[in-house]
């Protein structure tokens, strides 16, 4: 059983993650094993996955192997190609950072009542599941690994199960994960019925008509879209991600959602075959709704981790907008534009994994030090946690798509692809894509407003609570983990031509077309279409920003007197400023909430007139709960009540049902 070095590295990553899970079984008696052995093993697993993915991308690998596991007639088929290599690189980057960050973070759990065996054991299995999904080369091992990933992450969401909110979030996540898994299984079933096999090679050769191909696409979109948290299948995401420990939240949002993107790309762009523009329209519409609704709900949140979870809905919407553009352009014969949109989707997939994991690390550091997730209770953290404040600022600038950070490059590439809609012959498509571009631009502005709110409320001003006033900088490992991802965000923003060159083999392998013109003018200039159309230079942008900042600083120093006398500012005779006089997160979002109030169900709790310490509370609920989820829940509950009536406790009723069932079975047997 020969295998290439990159495939052996990937299997080493799986083995290390599994070893981490096994070691965690002894953490009940020796709690330090989780911090000193199990979690570092996760970091080593990530390092092996990173090496495997980087090797696969550089060497343009496409190698397979068969393992003697699984069913007697269906052993496990594994393969590493450039697409799976890209996901291994992404998983490896984030997991390496988790391996550095988590030991200090989980130290507090050693003194608590929560099960360290569950935390370490299911963390390892969670990583094993994600790695095997990426390496799978047949539908059987893919679904086994997918369910392992879902079940392990369920136990991690339910880790602190004493909280009823966490139990509810875990149940909702498990329910929707299994529904999504069922849709994916049915999609593979459609392909296997025509391909006469479960191996991906057989599925690629399945002769599908337009109708059956569309059925497979819809099932894949529902299954993977539910795991990715696309609207309206996003209800589990803002509930589950905040409930998990922060380093697990980073893995779920930064990596697990990207595994769903990988599965969708693998099925639609690799297995189904001929692409259809109608599928692209579906992705553009759903992606635009997800981006807009996700960022609006993020802007309204005061719980920091819940805000970041809703922000993931927005970013996954952006990724699917880019994939929709790729489908439209590829199916209409514009292969170069399709490759540009596809590469932009991959770039944003990488970027989101980096800056969202960084932001969850920052939220975890605040929770670890200040024991607070509510923005309304924060303030002044920059003075108490300067390193976390700096790294969180880099993540906030990256997710806000501001140059020269990585989020700008991928969103700029998406806009460059969308602006070429005039080349399409269909008037409907030429009208739809600019509307989606306008939604994307609005989303970008709202994202900037969201993270201005987060950073201003949490890190600036005065502390609003005793816990925050006593916050201290986190441990060195937590700072190094954040710093590693922050550096990656800067590198991916400053060197976009090198990143695109690394991603180009994926487009060449799946779409049979690359982006040679992207680096046609050298590493300094990124030209996605041509230098006459648009170009971008991140290094020159940095130089320009540095000149502007230096000039402004010099001008400021010129006006500062040499001797400065410090005195209290004039307060017009009123009481001195206090933390309660600061702007709140709820007040910051109020103008935008009024504009989009039809999207929210608002429950305002105003203080009584004679209340000595008046406090205002606002509870927002997603209208989709009332429009989509509650009717389904009520229908299931009503059907359950009717079924319960069969359990009357009367033996004659049971015998009657048994007799009726036998008659039906005899009739079916005689009829066949």
Q: List pLDDT tens digits, range 116-132.
A: 888 889 999 999 999 99
Q: Is residue 469 part of a domain?
A: yes
Alpha helices in 30-115 (DSSP H): 32-33, 39-59, 82-105
Neighbouring residues of 292: CB distance < 8 A, sequence distance ≥ 6: 314, 317, 439, 442, 443, 446
Whether 292 contacts 231, CB under 8 Å = no
Tell whether the model's pLDDT for residue 168 goes beyond 90. no
Copy the structure tokens of residue 255.
């990596």
pLDDT value at residue 616:
61
Could you report the per-residue pLDDT of 331-371, keeping only the tens digit for each?
998 999 999 999 999 999 999 999 999 999 999 999 988 88
Q: What backbone phi and psi angles, to 5 degrees, belong to 73?
A: -95, 0
What confidence tier does 288 reach under pLDDT thresholds 50, 70, 90? very high
pLDDT value at residue 142:
94
More confident of the two residues 614 and 76: 76
More confident of the two residues 150 and 609: 150
> For the chain, what percent of residues have pLDDT higher than 70?
92
Neighbouring residues of 588: CB distance < 8 A, sequence distance ≥ 6: 453, 456, 457
> For the chain, what percent of residues have pLDDT higher than 90?
45
Whether 131 contacts 92, CB under 8 Å = no
Read off the pLDDT of each residue in 548-554 and give the average, rounded to a whole number: 79
3-class SS letters over 596-619? CHHHEEEEEECCCCCCCCCCCEEE
- Packing angle, helices 277-300 and 427-459, rounded to 10: 20
Q: Is residue 433 part of a domain?
A: yes
What confidence tier does 160 reach under pLDDT thresholds 50, 70, 90? confident
Whether 245 contacts 96, CB under 8 Å = no
What confidence tier does 314 reach under pLDDT thresholds 50, 70, 90? very high
Residue 121 to residue 330: CA distance in whole angstroms: 43
Mean pLDDT for the chain overall: 86
Read off the pLDDT of each residue in 515-523 and give the average, rounded to a whole number: 75
The answer to whether the Cα torsion of 357, 362, 368, 370 is positive or negative is negative
Whether 448 contacts 411, CB under 8 Å = no
pLDDT value at residue 371:
86
Q: Is residue 27 part of a domain?
A: no
More confident of the two residues 652 and 399: 399
Structural domain range at position 474: 278-307+321-516
Q: Is residue 390 part of a domain?
A: yes
Residue 346 to residue 86: CA distance in whole angstroms: 9
Neighbouring residues of 595: CB distance < 8 A, sequence distance ≥ 6: none
- Where residue 331 falls (left for φ over 0; alpha for ψ -120 to 50; beta otherwise) is alpha
What confidence tier does 563 reach under pLDDT thresholds 50, 70, 90? low
Across the strands, what pairs with 144?
Answer: none
Read off the pLDDT of each residue in 590-618 and give the average, rounded to a whole number: 67
Copy the structure tokens of residue 513.
């077309």
3-class SS letters over 267-296? HHHHHHCCCCHHHHHHHHHHHHHHHHHHHH
Q: Is residue 61 part of a domain?
A: no
Peptide bond into 561 cis (omega under 30): no
Residue among 9, 155, 180 at smallest CA distance from 85: 9
Total domains present in the chain? 1
Read off the pLDDT of each residue in 641-660 and give the average, rounded to a whole number: 73
pTM of the model: 0.90
Tell whether the model's pLDDT for residue 611 goes beyond 70. no
Q: Is residue 153 part of a domain?
A: no
pLDDT value at residue 659:
83
Q: Is residue 661 part of a domain?
A: no
């Amino acid at each position: 059983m020969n295998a290439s070095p990159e495939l052996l590295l990937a299997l080493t990553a799986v083995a290390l993650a599994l070893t981490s899970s096994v070691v965690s079984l002894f953490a009940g008696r020796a709690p330090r094993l989780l911090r000193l052995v199990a979690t570092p093993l996760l970091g080593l697993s990530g390092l092996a996955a990173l090496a495997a993915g980087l090797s696969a991308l550089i060497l343009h690998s496409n190698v397979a192997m068969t393992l003697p596991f699984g069913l007697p007639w269906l052993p496990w088929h594994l393969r590493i190609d450039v697409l799976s290599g890209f996901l291994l690189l992404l998983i490896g980057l984030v997991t390496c950072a988790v391996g550095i960050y988590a030991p200090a973070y989980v130290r507090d759990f050693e003194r608590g009542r929560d099960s360290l065996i569950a935390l370490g054991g299911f963390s390892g299995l969670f990583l094993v599941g994600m790695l095997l999904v990426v390496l799978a080369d047949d539908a059987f091992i893919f679904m086994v690994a997918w369910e392992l990933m879902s079940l392990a992450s369920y136990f991690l969401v339910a880790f602190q199960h004493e909280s009823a909110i966490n139990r509810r979030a875990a149940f909702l996540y498990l329910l929707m994960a299994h529904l999504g898994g069922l849709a994916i299984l049915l999609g593979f079933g459609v392909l296997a019925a025509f391909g006469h096999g479960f191996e991906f090679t057989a599925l690629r050769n399945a002769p599908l008509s337009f109708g059956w191909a569309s059925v497979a696409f819809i099932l894949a979109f529902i299954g993977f879209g539910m795991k990715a948290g696309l609207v309206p299948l996003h209800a589990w995401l803002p509930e589950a991600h905040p409930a998990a420990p922060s380093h697990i939240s980073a893995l779920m949002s930064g990596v697990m959602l990207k595994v769903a993107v990988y599965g969708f790309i693998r099925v639609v762009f690799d297995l189904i075959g001929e692409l259809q523009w109608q599928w692209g329209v579906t992705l553009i519409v759903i992606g635009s709704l997800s981006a807009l609704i996700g960022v609006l709900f993020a802007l309204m949140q005061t719980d920091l981790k819940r805000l970041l979870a809703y922000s993931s809905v927005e970013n996954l919407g952006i990724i699917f907008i880019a994939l929709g553009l790729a489908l439209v352009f590829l199916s209409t014969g514009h292969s170069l534009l399709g490759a540009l949109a596809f590469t932009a989707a991959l770039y944003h997939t990488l970027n989101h994994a980096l800056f969202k994991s960084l932001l969850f690390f920052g939220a975890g550091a605040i929770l670890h030090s200040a024991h607070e997730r509510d923005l309304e209770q924060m303030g002044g953290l920059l003075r108490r946690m300067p390193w976390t404040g700096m790294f969180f600022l880099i993540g906030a600038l990256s997710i806000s798509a501001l140059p020269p950070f990585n989020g700008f490059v991928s969103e700029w590439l998406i806009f460059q692809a969308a602006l070429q809609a005039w080349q399409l012959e269909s008037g409907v498509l030429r009208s739809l894509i600019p509307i989606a571009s306008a939604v994307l631009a609005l989303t970008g502005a709202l994202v900037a407003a969201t993270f201005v709110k987060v950073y201003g409320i949490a890190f600036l001003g005065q502390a609003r609570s005793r816990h925050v006033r006593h916050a201290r900088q986190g441990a060195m490992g937590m700072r190094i983990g954040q710093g590693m991802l922050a550096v990656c965000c800067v590198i991916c923003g400053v060197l976009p031509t090198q990143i695109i060159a690394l991603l180009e083999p994926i487009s060449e392998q799946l779409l049979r077309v690359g982006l040679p013109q992207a680096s046609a003018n050298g590493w300094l200039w990124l030209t996605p279409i041509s230098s006459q159309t648009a170009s971008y230079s991140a290094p020159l942008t940095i130089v320009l920003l540095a000149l502007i900042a230096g000039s402004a600083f010099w001008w400021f120093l010129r006006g500062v007197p040499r001797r400065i006398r410090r005195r209290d500012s004039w307060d017009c005779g009123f009481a001195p400023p206090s933390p309660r006089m600061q702007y709140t997160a709820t007040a910051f979002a109020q103008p935008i909430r009024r504009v989009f109030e039809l999207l929210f169900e608002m429950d305002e709790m105003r203080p009584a007139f004679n209340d000595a310490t008046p406090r205002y509370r606002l509870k927002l609920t997603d209208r989709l709960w009332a429009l989509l989820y509650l009717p389904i829940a009520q229908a299931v509950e009503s059907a359950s009540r009717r079924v319960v009536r069969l359990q009357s406790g009367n033996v004659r009723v049971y015998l009657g049902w048994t007799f009726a069932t036998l008659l039906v079975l005899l009739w079916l047997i005689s009829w066949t």
